[in-house]
């Protein structure tokens, strides 16, 4: 009896015994659609916040980071997980001729996946219990149930394959077995190990998981759908089973070895990075082989017009080619250096998950659903769904890719950060608009599966078959009866290959996880300062809040070994810097700037104001408000806000306190290591390049005419604190101590303005603006100067000047100095430098006001208890004479 | 070192597959066999569904007939 006949008899018999568990196909399909709609709504909510940051109000559970966690887990586990399970309930019995293990087990698996993993997982991350690891955001307690569900899935779907033997397994079967086995191995590795090892070592494992989640779970199951549906619909075998197997083993070998390409130019050993880059390039080649085979299998078919599932599969195949070639290219150092952390990568991940995998998943659902005798089916609605999804996802991916290139250009040429945010806004708007056809597409998909007549799918199928009788032409004549020796050879080769695949997986963990970890330990031992700065209790709590709120999804803490990063954010991040970060906070995207050295760039009041009402201090900011951490005002923070600010202020402190004592030692320890030399020879060795400084060299500032550029910069950078009119009454002014200066009440020399703009004012909320081009700072200085109001002051009497001099000498000289230049002998004891009256002259009224009221938050106290009104007026007159007006 | 391991292993794997395929015609047939077996299984399933559909249609016709008789 031929093998073919044996199989067909088996299948026919089994089919009549209700081989396919259609209720579970139905249940998982519906669950998938419910999950995708919720996950996409989360995605829309977070995308809207890119240009309407306050759109969701102050509902803390809807905070950006939490929604982002719910979005990614919803797409991967809720949508794709359910879609794949629905397909498996149809495909495994067809592939094996056997029922899945147990219907009751299937009900348990359905309940576990949706009501113990997805629902509680979403509720937990939205209520702030989460894990800050990309594609692993559900907390560890949920991971336990995910692993249990994966075990149940393996029990449910694997036995039918093994009962039939391995030698005649079709490629879809290989992918299904591979996905179930390797996801079970990779999931605990990616979700648990980063919680156990800190910093860069944690990142090495995270990188592995990010790629394993896509490469070992999503891609194999999506490919199993493509390889299943194409022959099922066209009625012809695939072009080459040999090429499909070459692709299968190539993918399972190379996917896990790609992991470290998410951290190119990082401190992870370069050998591991280069290995991942090479594996990425080879993977691109393998994918071309796979896609060629799939497209050759589709050639000449007329079923694309008739079968909607096949249409989804074709587009999935094309998306797979594009996303894989794109992935291989962006892993290469020259492109990675430019586009990493930009929206290019977000476009890439959406093309993978919402393009390739989603189209494959829909293809699988539509194909399986159409064959449920009692299910409704509306081909018209499904056809509309297809086009809407193609249009929506294409617009989104193209838009994000262009946005990424725009951001890359601005980051490379050193433009201020706000420019990349401002210029991205139109693209972010289009990204949100692209969700309209996407949501409409999914709603129509849902409608298409729940409307129409019962059994309409099968009726349509029968009609198609009737119209195209040739489609079912048997191909079994091509099957040859193999010799026993070859069967043995093949069986053995598959066993060897299966063992090798397990070996490859272990190899990937060894090469890209364990070995880099050992290398990083050696680096840490050699380079770590002896007295390492550790987190205080408050800072540690703040770090947990930072993780919980998803801050790392917009702010990296990883300065790469690239010129653009070093000039903007400071010296590259070294392995020892994350020794107390478990898991790491390196991040994968920069919507906002890197925060590795952020602690020295803004003061505490500024951070509190920024958390409470971000746009009060940074008018162009798109950061969500965290006003839930306050009692109604930025100057009434709850403990959470104080902890978070403590953590933010601690960032970079360890590095700043560690060197330069050790840099010469490190240079000599690794004389030939280009990367180490790069890390310890930055212009500002330890600190953020934008750190406020008391003094230092100044570039040449020139007088510039009033310009629109100056006004634009004022509105962008300064108006939040100083107000539109420069009176120091901006939205954030009441929360800052000392209050922002009232610029209408001062004359400034050009040098003073240059000094403040270039160095900031340490101890106050006034930051340094060294990231703004010099021409812009000149324009800004001219704009500030123009605020000064003319004051008609009667000339002082001689007696007044003598009194003023006496008062000044007795009370002011300790801080402001004999010459009024702010260089009194007490200066070194003051947190905020006293005013230098030679470079800035207050109006008479402002001087009197300050002497009467003092400056809250500084060492300048009110003098009304020691000086009389005439004395205050006299000294106010007197100090005006110090001003050295420029010609 | 890592890059050598990855590249050489990948090339080695591909080479073993290709040489096996090129040098042993029987093996070529054997490797391609699962796609034909799968096609046969699919054909049987499609026939089964067609049969189910015919039964469904027949049931529907019967229901209509019964309805008419009642009327």
The ipTM estimated for the assembled molecules is 0.82
Q: Which of B18, B37, B44 shows the shortest C-beta gap to A170?
A: B37
Contact A242 B48 (CB under 8 A): no
Structure tokens at A120: 């509680």
Q: How many whole angstroms separate alpha carbon A429 and alpha carbon A750?
A: 41
Q: Which of A254, A272, A472 shows the shortest C-beta gap to B46?
A: A472
In the prediction, which pLDDT does A2 show?
42
Contact A367, A229 (CB under 8 A): yes
Q: Which of A235, A279, A479 shows the shortest C-beta gap to B37?
A: A479
How close is the nearest chain B Cα to the Cα of A487, in Å? 7
Selected residue of A211, A478, A504, A518 to mutate for chain B interface (largest B Cβ count, 10 A): A478
Chain B, 4-63: which have a CB under 8 Å from a chain A CB? Answer: 5-7, 9-10, 13-14, 17-18, 20-21, 24, 26-50, 52-54, 56-57
Structure tokens at A228: 């299943």
How close is the nearest chain A Cα to the Cα of B31, in Å? 6
Q: How many whole angstroms separate alpha carbon A171 and alpha carbon A188?
A: 26
Residues A626, A632, A634, A635: what is their CA dihedral angle, to the nearest 10 degrees? -150
Supply the angle between the helices A64-73 and A22-48 in degrees, to the nearest 10: 150
How close is the nearest chain B Cα to the Cα of A480, in Å? 6
Q: Which of A94, A245, A482 shows the shortest C-beta gap to B42?
A: A94
Q: Which residue positions in chain A have pLDDT lower than 70? A: 1-17, 468-498, 659-666, 681-685
Residues of chain A neighbouring B31 (CB-CB closer than 8 A): 241-242, 245, 490
Write the DSSP symbol of residue A226: H
Structure tokens at A607: 């951070």
- Which residues have C-beta within 8 Å of that of residue A24, sequence separation ≥ 6? A85, A86, A89, A103, A106, A107, A110
Report which of A205, A33, A203 is spatially closest to residue A114, judged by C-alpha positions. A33
Report which of A801, A797, A807, A787 is spatially closest to residue A872, judged by C-alpha positions. A807
Q: How many whole angstroms separate alpha carbon A599 and alpha carbon A596?
A: 8
In the prediction, which pLDDT does A477 show?
39
Q: Can you give the pTM of this predicted structure?
A: 0.90
The superfamily in CATH containing domain A3-465+484-514 is: Cytochrome c oxidase-like, subunit I domain (1.20.210.10)
Contact A479 B36 (CB under 8 A): yes
Residues of chain A neighbouring B1 (CB-CB closer than 8 A): 271
Contact A490 B27 (CB under 8 A): yes
CATH T-level topology, domain A798-880: Cytochrome Bc1 Complex; Chain D, domain 2 (1.10.760)
Q: How many whole angstroms separate alpha carbon A377 and alpha carbon A848?
A: 82
How many CB pairs (< 8 A) connect A and B?
169
Contact B32 A232 (CB under 8 A): no
Q: Containing H/E element for A301?
A: none
pLDDT-derived band at B65 (thresholds 50, 70, 90) equals low
How close is the nearest chain B Cα to the Cα of A283, in Å? 10
| Average pLDDT over all residues of chain B | 75
How close is the nearest chain B Cα to the Cα of A311, in Å? 19
Q: How many whole angstroms separate alpha carbon A714 and alpha carbon A704?
A: 15
Contact A3 B37 (CB under 8 A): yes
Contact A475 B5 (CB under 8 A): no
B1-28 pLDDT, tens digit each? 778 888 888 888 888 878 888 887 888 8
Q: Containing H/E element for A461?
A: helix A456-467
Residues of chain B neighbouring A249 (CB-CB closer than 8 A): 13, 17
Structure tokens at A119: 């629902």
Contact A282 B21 (CB under 8 A): no
Q: How many whole angstroms separate alpha carbon B34 and alpha carbon A856?
A: 82
In the prediction, which pLDDT does A472 show?
43
Residues of chain B neighbouring A504 (CB-CB closer than 8 A): 9
Q: Which of B26, B34, B48 shows the shortest C-beta gap to A170?
A: B34
In the prediction, which pLDDT does B61 show?
60
Residues of chain B neighbouring A257 (CB-CB closer than 8 A): 6
Domain ranges of chain B: 2-70
Residues of chain A neighbouring B54 (CB-CB closer than 8 A): 462
Selected residue of A227, A264, A369, A472 to mutate for chain B interface (largest B Cβ count, 10 A): A472
Q: How many Cβ atoms sit within 10 Å of the Cβ of residue A511?
A: 26
Write the DSSP symbol of residue A236: S
CA angle, B40 then B42 then B47, to 5° = 95
Report which of A213, A250, A247, A212 is spatially closest to residue A227, judged by C-alpha positions. A247
Contact B44 A11 (CB under 8 A): yes
Structure tokens at A224: 């199993």
Write the DSSP symbol of residue A747: E
How close is the nearest chain A Cα to the Cα of B3, in Å? 4
Parts of chain A belonging to CATH 1.10.760.10? 537-679, 708-729+742-785, 798-880
The superfamily in CATH containing domain A537-679 is: Cytochrome c-like domain (1.10.760.10)
Report the residue of chain A nearest B52, measured CA to CA: A373
Helices (H), A812-868: 813-816, 844-853
Selected residue of A95, A279, A479 to mutate for chain B interface (largest B Cβ count, 10 A): A479
Structure tokens at A418: 């706000």
Q: Which of B14, B47, B50 shows the shortest C-beta gap to A250?
A: B14
Write the DSSP symbol of residue A589: -
* Gyration radius of chain A over CA positions: 33
Q: How many Cβ atoms sit within 10 Å of the Cβ of residue A39?
A: 25
Q: Selecting from 1.10.760.10, 1.20.1260.10, 3.60.10.10, 1.10.287.3510, what CATH number does the domain A708-729+742-785 have?
A: 1.10.760.10
Report which of A670, A608, A678, A597 is spatially closest to residue A639, judged by C-alpha positions. A608
Q: Which residues of A579-616 are buried (b: 16+ CB within 10 A; e: fewer)?
A: bbbebbbbbbbbbbbbbbbbbbbbbbbbbbbbbbbbbb
Contact B31 A274 (CB under 8 A): no
Residues of chain B neighbouring A479 (CB-CB closer than 8 A): 33, 36-37
How close is the nearest chain A Cα to the Cα of B68, in Å? 21
Residues of chain A neighbouring B42 (CB-CB closer than 8 A): 94, 231-232, 235
Report the residue of chain A nearest B12, measured CA to CA: A250
Write the DSSP symbol of residue A573: P
Handedness of CA A252, A584, A45, A409 (dihedral sign): negative
What is the SS3 assignment for A759-828? Answer: HCCCCCCCCCCCCCCHHHHHHHHHHHHCCCCCCCCCCCCHHHHHHHHHHHHHHCHHHHCCCCCCCCCCHH
Contact A483 B5 (CB under 8 A): no
Distances in Å between the alpha carbon of B56 and those of A163, A377, A378, A644?
A: 33, 15, 18, 65
Residues of chain B neighbouring A511 (CB-CB closer than 8 A): 2, 5-6
Give helix then strand counts, H and E, for chain A.
38, 2
Report the residue of chain B nearest A12, measured CA to CA: B44
CA angle, A333 then A337 then A341, to 5° = 125
Q: How many whole angstroms separate alpha carbon A679 and alpha carbon A527?
A: 11
Parts of chain A belonging to CATH 1.20.210.10? 3-465+484-514
Contact A482 B29 (CB under 8 A): yes
Contact B43 A371 (CB under 8 A): no
Residues of chain B neighbouring A246 (CB-CB closer than 8 A): 14, 17-18
Q: How many whole angstroms separate alpha carbon A125 and alpha carbon A548?
A: 8
Report the residue of chain B nearest A252, measured CA to CA: B10
Contact B17 A249 (CB under 8 A): yes
Q: Containing H/E element for A12?
A: helix A3-16
Q: Which of A3, A458, A490 shows the shortest C-beta gap to B52?
A: A458
Q: Which of A232, A500, A511 shows the shortest C-beta gap to B2?
A: A511
Number of residues in chain A: 887
Contact A482 B39 (CB under 8 A): no
Report the residue of chain B nearest A251, measured CA to CA: B10
Distances in Å between the alpha carbon of A332 and those of A10, A349, B42?
A: 50, 17, 42
Number of residues in chain B: 71
CA angle, A373 then A377 then A383, to 5° = 140
């Amino acid at each position: 009896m031929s093998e073919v006949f044996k199989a067909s008899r088996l299948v026919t018999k089994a089919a009549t015994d209700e081989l396919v568990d259609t209720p579970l196909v139905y249940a998982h399909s519906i669950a998938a659609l419910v999950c995708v709609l919720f996950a996409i709504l989360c995605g829309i909510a977070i995308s809207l916040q890119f240009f309407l940051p306050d759109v969701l109000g102050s509902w803390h559970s809807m905070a950006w980071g939490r929604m982002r966690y719910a979005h990614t887990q919803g797409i991967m586990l809720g949508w794709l997980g359910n879609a794949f399970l629905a397909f498996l309930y149809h495909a495994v019995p067809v592939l094996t001729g056997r029922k899945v293990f147990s219907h009751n087990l299937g009900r348990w698996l359905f309940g576990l996946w949706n009501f113990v993993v997805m629902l509680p997982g979403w509720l937990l991350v939205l209520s702030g219990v989460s894990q800050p690891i990309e594609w692993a955001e559900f907390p560890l307690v949920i991971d336990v149930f995910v692993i249990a569900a994966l075990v149940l899935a393996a029990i449910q779907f694997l036995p039918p394959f093994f009962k039939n033997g391995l030698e005649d397994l079709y490629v879809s079967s290989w992918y299904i077995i591979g996905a179930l086995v390797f996801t079970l191995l990779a999931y605990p590795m990616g979700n648990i190990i980063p919680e156990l090892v800190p910093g860069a070592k944690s990142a090495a494992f995270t990188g592995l998981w990010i790629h394993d989640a896509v490469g070992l779970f999503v891609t194999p199951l999506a490919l199993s759908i493509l390889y299943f549906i194409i022959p099922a619909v066209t009625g012809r075998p695939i072009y080459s089973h040999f090429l499909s197997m070459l692709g299968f083993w190539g993918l399972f070998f190379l996917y896990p070895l790609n992991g470290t390409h998410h951290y190119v130019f990082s401190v992870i050993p370069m050998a591991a990075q280069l290995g991942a880059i090479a594996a990425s390039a080879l993977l691109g080649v393998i994918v071309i082989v796979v896609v060629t085979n799939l497209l050759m299998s589709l050639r000449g078919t007329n079923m694309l017009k008739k079968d909607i599932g096949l249409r989804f599969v074709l587009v999935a195949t094309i998306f797979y080619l594009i996303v894989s070639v794109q992935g291989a290219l962006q892993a290469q150092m020259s492109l990675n250096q430019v586009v990493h952390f930009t929206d290019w990568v977000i476009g890439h991940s959406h093309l993978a998950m919402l393009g390739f995998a989603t189209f494959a998943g829909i293809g699988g659902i539509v194909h399986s659903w159409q064959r449920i005798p009692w299910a409704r089916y509306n081909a018209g609605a499904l056809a509309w769904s297809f086009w809407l999804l193609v249009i929506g996802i294409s617009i989104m991916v193209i838009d994000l890719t262009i946005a990424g290139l725009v951001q890359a250009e601005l980051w490379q040429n050193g433009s201020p950060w706000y420019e990349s945010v401002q210029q991205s806004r139109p693209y972010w708007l289009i990204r949100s608009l692209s969700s309209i056809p996407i949501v409409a597409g999914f709603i129509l998909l849902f409608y298409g599966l729940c409307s129409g007549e019962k059994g309409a799918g099968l009726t349509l199928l029968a009609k198609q078959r009737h119209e195209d009788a040739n489609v079912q032409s048997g191909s079994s004549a091509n099957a040859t009866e193999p010799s026993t020796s070859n069967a043995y050879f093949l069986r053995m080769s598959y066993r060897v290959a299966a063992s090798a695949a397990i070996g490859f997986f272990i190899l990937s963990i060894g090469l890209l996880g364990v070995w880099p970890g050992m290398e990083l330990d050696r680096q840490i031992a050699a380079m770590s300062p002896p007295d390492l700065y550790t987190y205080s209790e408050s800072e540690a709590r703040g770090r947990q809040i930072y993780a919980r709120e998803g801050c790392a999804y917009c702010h990296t803490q990883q300065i790469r070994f690239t010129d653009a990063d070093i000039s903007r954010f400071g010296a590259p991040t070294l392995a020892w810097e994350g020794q107390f970060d478990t898991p790491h906070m390196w991040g994968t995207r920069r919507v906002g700037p890197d925060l590795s050295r952020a602690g020295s760039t803004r003061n505490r009041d500024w951070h509190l104001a920024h958390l409470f009402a971000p746009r009060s201090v940074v008018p162009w900011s798109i950061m969500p408000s965290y006003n839930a951490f306050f009692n109604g005002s930025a100057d009434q923070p709850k403990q959470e806000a104080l902890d978070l600010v403590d953590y933010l202020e601690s960032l970079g402190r360890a590095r700043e306190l560690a060197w330069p004592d050790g840099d010469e030692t490190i240079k000599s320890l690794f004389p030939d290591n280009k990367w180490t030399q790069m890390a310890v020879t930055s212009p500002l060795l330890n600190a953020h390049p934008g750190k406020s400084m008391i003094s230092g060299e100044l570039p040449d500032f020139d007088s510039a005419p009033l310009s629109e550029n100056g006004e634009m910069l004022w509105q962008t950078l300064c108006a939040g604190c100083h107000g539109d009119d420069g009176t120091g009454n901006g939205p954030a002014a009441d929360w800052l101590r000392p209050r922002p200066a009232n610029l209408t009440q001062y004359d400034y020399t050009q040098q003073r303005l240059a000094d403040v703009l270039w160095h900031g004012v340490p101890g106050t909320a006034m930051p340094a603006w060294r990231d703004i081009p010099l021409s812009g700072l000149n324009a800004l200085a001219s704009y500030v100067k123009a605020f000064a109001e003319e004051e008609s002051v009667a000339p002082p009497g001689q007696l007044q000047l003598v009194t003023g001099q006496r008062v000044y000498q007795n009370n002011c000289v300790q801080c402001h100095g004999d010459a009024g230049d702010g260089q009194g002998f007490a200066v070194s004891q003051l947190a905020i430098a006293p005013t230098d009256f030679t470079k800035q002259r207050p109006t008479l009224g402002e001087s009197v006001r300050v002497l009467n009221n003092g400056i809250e938050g500084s060492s300048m106290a009110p003098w009304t208890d020691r000086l009389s009104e005439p004395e205050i007026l006299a000294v106010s007159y007197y100090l005006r004479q110090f001003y050295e007006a420029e010609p | 070192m890592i890059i050598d391991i990855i590249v050489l292993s990948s090339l080695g794997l591909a080479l073993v597959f290709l040489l096996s395929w090129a040098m042993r015609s029987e093996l070529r047939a054997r490797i391609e066999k699962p796609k034909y077996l799968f096609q046969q299984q699919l054909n049987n399933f499609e026939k089964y569904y067609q049969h189910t559909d015919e039964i469904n249609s027949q049931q529907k016709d019967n229901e209509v007939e019964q309805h008419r008789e009642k009327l």
